[in-house]
């Protein structure tokens, strides 16, 4: 069993001992860069050291989840280069252990760190990002998010197209207008407008209501009316409040996609975000293969390390481009989110497959 072998314990321990200090350096650089960018706002708000430290402490899990793939790649490349320089790779090959064995062990390490990345991103990172955003908006920028009122909101719910003039924190508002269309979506069946409303899941209460039927040239007024809309106004406020669906946990985002999809809303952008979360965590496995491919080409640490940084830059560029195209509907969600991983995997395999076949032939 590979998990019980001395080589497995040696590589896992070496990878961890290199990754943790590299991660600490990466966190330090990230925090310093962010601090200098926000320093003017901290000084204007007269924020103390304690408040600034609390803000960055809440951001720490998200920072770790964002930089973990590049940190893992650098640590794996450095580890393999050190092993090659100390002739350990030659000793392994002389003992009949091919490069595939360290590659498999690094892939296992990548899977483990992928789980860590998901935990930081979807659990600690989500909670920390919300709290750091609250500190930034309320205590630094002096904005009261709890009393924010949003205006001019549109959404689709089945056969209804709904416009909200205002949306208040208690899910009430003014100037409600809903357009009911026919089953073939070619004609307007009814228009319902109300001066006030109270939104609840599956039950929207309207007050001072006016109903119009254009085809029959009829209109009627009533003091109240209940529309069975499936849209949850609390969830809707969450998106408008943060403007970042990435701040939703993976499972909550999945439930929201199902709910919005059932109501007839366009959820391609949210599906792209959902796949992006998984693809970014899976990128650590891809980074293990990239590290092996780089070191198989050159074991010079002074050359392999800059090449690893270039590879991460290109990966992030393709990943960001694919995500943007997916959120705008240019690409389907799956290829948009997973395209960078697939391209990196193919390039790594193009380098490693001939080496493996050549050794198998010998």
Checking if the pLDDT of 156 tops 90, the result is no
Domain spans, the chain: 2-142+269-361, 159-229
- Asked if 323 and 244 touch (Cβ cutoff 8 Å), the reply is no
Note the pLDDT tens digit of each residue in 104-144: 899 999 999 999 999 888 888 888 887 888 788 778 877 66
Q: Of the ranges 64-73, 133-142, 200-209, which one carries the lowest mean pLDDT score? A: 133-142
Note the pLDDT tens digit of each residue in 309-327: 999 999 999 999 999 999 8
The pTM of the full predicted model, rounded to 2 decimals, is 0.73
CATH code for residues 159-229: 2.30.30
Q: What is the DSSP string of 245-303?
A: GGGS-HHHHHHHHHHHHHTT---HHHHHHHHHHHHHHHHHHHHHHHHHHHHHH---HHH
State the average pLDDT for the chain: 85
For residue 169, what pLDDT is reported? 80
Checking if the pLDDT of 164 tops 80, the result is yes
CA 342 – CA 223 distance, rounded (Å): 58
Q: How far is CA 188 from the centre of its chain?
A: 38
């Amino acid at each position: 069993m590979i998990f019980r072998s001395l080589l497995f314990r040696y590589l896992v321990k070496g990878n961890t001992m290199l990754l943790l200090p590299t991660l600490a350096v990466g966190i330090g650089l990230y925090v310093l860069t962010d601090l200098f960018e926000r320093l003017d706002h901290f000084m204007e708000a007269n924020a103390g050291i304690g408040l600034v430290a609390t803000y960055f402490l809440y951001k720490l899990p998200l920072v770790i989840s964002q930089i973990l793939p590049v940190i893992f790649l650098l640590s794996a490349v450095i580890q393999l280069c050190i092993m090659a320089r100390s002739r350990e790779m030659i000793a392994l090959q002389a003992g009949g252990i091919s490069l595939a064995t360290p590659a498999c062990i690094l892939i296992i390490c990548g899977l483990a760190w992928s789980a860590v990345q998901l935990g930081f991103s979807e659990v600690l990172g989500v909670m920390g990002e919300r709290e750091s955003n609250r500190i930034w908006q309320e205590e630094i920028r002096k904005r009261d998010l709890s009393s924010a009122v949003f205006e001019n909101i549109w959404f689709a719910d089945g056969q209804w197209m709904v416009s909200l003039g205002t949306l208040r924190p208690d899910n009430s508002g003014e100037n409600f207008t809903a357009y009911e269309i026919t089953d073939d979506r070619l004609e307007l069946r009814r228009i319902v407008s109300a001066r006030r409303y109270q939104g609840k899941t599956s039950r929207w209460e309207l007050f001072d209501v006016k109903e119009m039927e254009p085809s029959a040239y009829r209109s009627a007024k009533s003091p109240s009316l209940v529309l069975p809309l499936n849209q949850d106004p609390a969830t809707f406020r969450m998106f408008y409040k943060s403007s970042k669906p990435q701040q939703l946990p993976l499972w909550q985002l999945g439930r929201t996609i199902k709910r919005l999809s059932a109501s007839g809303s366009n959820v391609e952008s949210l599906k792209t975000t959902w796949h992006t979360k998984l693809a970014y965590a899976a990128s650590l496995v891809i980074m293990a293969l990239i590290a092996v491919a780089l070191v198989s080409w050159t074991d010079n640490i002074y050359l392999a390390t800059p090449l690893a940084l270039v590879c991460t830059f290109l990966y992030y560029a393709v990943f960001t481009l694919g995500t943007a195209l997916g959120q705008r509907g240019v690409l389907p969600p799956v290829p948009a989110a997973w395209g960078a991983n697939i391209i990196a995997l193919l390039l790594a395999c193009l380098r490693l497959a001939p080496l493996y076949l050549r050794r198998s032939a010998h």
